[in-house]
Structure 1
Amino acid sequence: MIQFKNIAFLLLLLFGSFMLHAQNTMSPYSIFGPGEMLPKGFGRSIGMGNSGIALSSGSQLNNLNPASYAGIEKHHVVFEFGVEGKFSTFKSYDDKMSGFNGSLKYVAMGYRVTPWLSSSIGLSPYSTVGYKINTENSMEGSLLNYNSSFEGSGGITLAYWAHSVKLSDNLFFGVNTSFLFGPLTQQESIYQSDLGMNYISVQNDYMSSFYFDFGLQYAIKKGNTEYRLGLTYAPEQSLRSKHTYTLMDGNYSTLAYDEESPGHITIPQTTGLGVSVQNGENYLVALDYRTEKWKGLHYPTMSGNFVNAHNFSVGTEFRPWRQSVTNVFYKNWVYRFGLNYNSTFLKLRNNRINEYSVNFGFGFPLRERGSSLNVAFEAGSNGTTENNLVRERFLLLHVNFSLNELWFFQRKFE
């Protein structure tokens, strides 16, 4: 069984980056910057409104703070797999459309190396691009009109290797060494039937660079209740970018091609603060705040009016029937609920693009030690219809498997 899971995990790591590149957004706002920024968080945190900077667990991974991996139990190896499906409805002043997309969300593994050192490796999406915008334009100096279409695809994937150090019984420090990679592609098609004009231009920016972020957690336990503080920080960093431009006719024959010298795009400074209160296995409450300094940054694809982003989230986890004397099947189920408010880095036509969501979920224990199936639902709204902008309303289903194995453990027989 262990060997099968090892092989399955290696295959997921090998092919995961291709699966993560699958288009998993239809938002027109993904035309700006590096695309739609995707929230971190594995199954447990998603059910709690993506809160978890101050969370740590011996049986579930938490990628919101690299210091959290210090909680992995001795001899345990934890595997995390997540898939996601999203139904969205987009509405503007005079139009409406809807659609569904789904993808592999992440794959990760965490393990204890020594009594004071733990590690985790994994793949997850960092940003995603997926839009199609059609317009009709007038030709200057002519009564004729022409049609143009903008299509975007791609996204940035994050591959990480994290280390967490136990500095004392109460203090934990972690660092993520990540590699960000992936294409951001924008295709513009121009068509005019009367003149037989048909051109296609493709701009492609391929990102690839290392990225570092850090985390700290401090825990105090009083009786059966633990109080934990979490901090995360990532400095402003540059990603290496290779830009190409291709012009083609309607038969996709290349008319012009240009490859620029490698440039750079900037990833903003990010800071996070979280607090949590946990009473044994009865209940848990977590509160997070994150900020990203986007103001003044520019991107080769499309730079809007970028402003600093702010995110607030709160979540809870509880087991209402844990003390039940009857052995009912739902006795050990975990229930989760959360709220999330995200003031994004976009300000368009004097309107801040904000996102609101409510989350709830369940955790079902599996037969193996510490393993669980986690299901989370999220309903929310993003954007506005004011000033001819677009509002997205969405329903999201997230399914996560958190699997535990005992490794490096030698059984003793008498």
Structure 2
Amino acid sequence: MQVKKTLISLLAVAALLPSTAAAQSSSINAFSPYSMYGIGELNTPGTLPVRSMGGAGVAMRWPTSINLLNPASFSAMERKSFLFDMGAENQNYYNAQRRDGVTRKSAYNTFNFHEIAFQLPLGKGVGLGFGLTPFSSVGYRVKSTQIDGSYGWSDYTFQGEGDITEVKAGIGWEIFRGFSIGAAAQYYWGEIDRTYIMTPTNITDNDAITATTGTDLYGVSRFKAQFGVQWTPVFNAKRMFTVGATYDLGGDLRPDVSHKVLLGDPAGTAVRDESFRGALSLPHQAALGLYYRTPKVTLALDYVYQNWRSANEGTEYATVGGYSVAYANTSTVRFGVEYIPNYSDLRRVLNRWSYRAGFRYGDYNQTFNGRRIPQFAVTAGIGIPVRFLAASAVDIGIEYGQRGRGGNMAGNAGFVKQRYFKVALGFSIFASSSSGEFWFVRPKYD
């Protein structure tokens, strides 16, 4: 009964979060010039233990861990148990661009929550999972100058901010021993605000030239779906091996776009004010994963394919500087490892900790003048049990990544080389009578 009351409370909190997140949608949760187009920079999915292992977890299946990457894993829950997870993340961005023999640098720091998730059993071999996570973020301020012989030159300032949040709720079912399927509904919502300001320097007294401000407000509210499967051919006291796969349907987001262009005269005359449905789609995504676990070592390997270009065929952008921007299909490899020296060591606390590391490599989902942008990340983290033999833990994770090459390399002049560093803190709570963790049970005796 107490678990049910706690679940109702968590659902009430989750129901209030969309309004809270919407009120904070103007905050900058990323700072990257690569987020100027589309839905911005994609966040790494999954809870902190998964992200600390390079983001690999499509095949991860364990009764004391939440796996938001594959709904089939929800069926791994023990009877009369409950899992809750939440986390926050601090991000530091460092951007460098070399152009015309000059290197320009910028730095920015952001902080935001990353996930709120829970998981519980519905019956024998059936489990429910829920997750509220940031899906993508937009944050940038870019300046450019364009020379025009008819009047002089113009200074442009481009800036944008906003985010899209994903809510996922799914059910996993172990239809027979070692084989599970799952399905999840995904809801995406959020707002992205993009603005440009054109300030001319008129040296020819051309009265037709005036300052201009343009704004584009994108509103997203769409449902999508994901399907998953997991097969565990090996499961005994010494080792476990699982194969997993997922497929995301993707589909048209069709954001509501409010487009305005205002002149810089005292009246702020509007030369354009229109609303329409934007052309933007999420890709179909196929992922395949392997998961191997022993009492000490865990290995995870994922391959993820997304057809961004096929889903957004014909959707291209152009900047003032002349760069053409288009979507590109992506392939990403993720690998992670976890090591626990001795989970039941009574004397040495550090031997009971979980030590994690991983990496991720692929390409950015947009091209610039036809050039692909490589990106990679290296991750590490630790899990600290709250007490002896407890599954509940405090998790700490770090990630270092790089996007683009930039610098003086041939063909990279003018491209931005971005480095970032993330520090995350998470809390995992596991309640089960079998493990002796009674988080939501009222004591009978004081």
**TM-score, normalization: structure 2?**
0.84
Distance, in Å, in 2 between the alignment partners of 1:12 and 1:327 is 40
Say if 2:259 is the partner of 1:259.
no
Aligned to 2:338: 317
Partner of 1:11: 13
2 CA distance for matches of 1:9 and 1:111? 13
Q: How do 1:61-210 residues align onto structure 2 when only pairs under 5 Å count?
A: 61-93=66-98, 94-142=103-151, 144-192=152-200, 197-210=210-223
Tell me whether 15-24 or 395-404 shows the greater mean CA deviation: 15-24
Q: How far did 1:361 drift?
A: 0.6
Higher deviation after alignment, 188-197 or 378-387: 188-197
What's the CA shift for 1:10? 3.7
Are residues 23 and 9 of structure 1, via their aligned partners in 2, closer, same or farther at CA, if it must alter by over 3 Å?
A: farther
Match of 1:343 among 363, 369, 374: 363
Greater shift in the superposed pair: 262-271 or 154-163 = 262-271
Change (3 A) 1:109 1:28: same
Distance 1:242 1:222, change over 3 A: closer
Of 255, 277, 285, which residue of structure 1 is paired with 2:292?
277
Distance 1:209 1:312 in 2: 28
1:394 corresponds to: 420
Are the equivalent residues in 1 in contact too, given 2:303–2:333 (CA < 8 A)?
yes
| Post-superposition offset of 1:327 | 1.3
Q: Pick the aligned partner of 1:244 from 243, 258, 261.
A: 258
Report sequence identity in percent. 22
CA drift at 1:126: 1.4
Q: Following the alignment from structure 1 to structure 2, what is the Cα–Cα distance between the partners of residues 364 and 20? A: 32
Match of 1:35 among 31, 40, 47: 40
- Cα deviation digits, residues 115-164 of structure 1 (max 9, x gap): 1321112211111111111112223412x222111111112111111111
Alpha-carbon distance in 1 for matches of 2:78, 2:6: 22
DSSP 3-state at the match of 1:351: coil
Residues 408 and 334 of structure 1: CA distance in aligned 2, closer, same or farther (over 3 Å): closer
TM-score (structure 1 length as normaliser): 0.90
Please give the alpha-carbon distance, in whole angstroms, between the structure 1 residues aligned to 2:94 and 2:427. 28
Q: Are the equivalent residues in 1 in contact too, given 2:316–2:327 (CA < 8 A)?
A: no
Quick check: 2:263–2:271 contact (8 Å CA) kept in 1? no
Q: Structure 2 residue aligned with 1:234, among 242, 245, 248?
A: 248
| Matching residue of 1:378 | 399
Q: Secondary structure at the match of 2:75?
A: helix
- Contact kept, 8 Å, 1:371 with 1:404, in 2: the verdict is yes
Residue in 2 aligned with 1:216? 229
Amino acid aligned to 1:141 = S
- Which ranges of structure 1 fall in alignment gaps of 5 or more residues? none
Residue 281 of structure 2 aligns to which amino acid in structure 1?
A: T
Q: 1:306 aligns with which of 327, 334, 342?
A: 327
Cα 1:331/1:347, change in 2 over 3 Å = same
Partner in structure 1 of residue 321 of structure 2: none
Aligned length in residues: 410
d(CA) in 2 for partners of 1:384 and 1:37?
19
Cα displacement (A) at 1:263: 4.9
The residue type paired with residue 113 of structure 1 is L
State how far apart, in whole Å, the 2-side matches of 1:351 and 1:61 are. Answer: 38
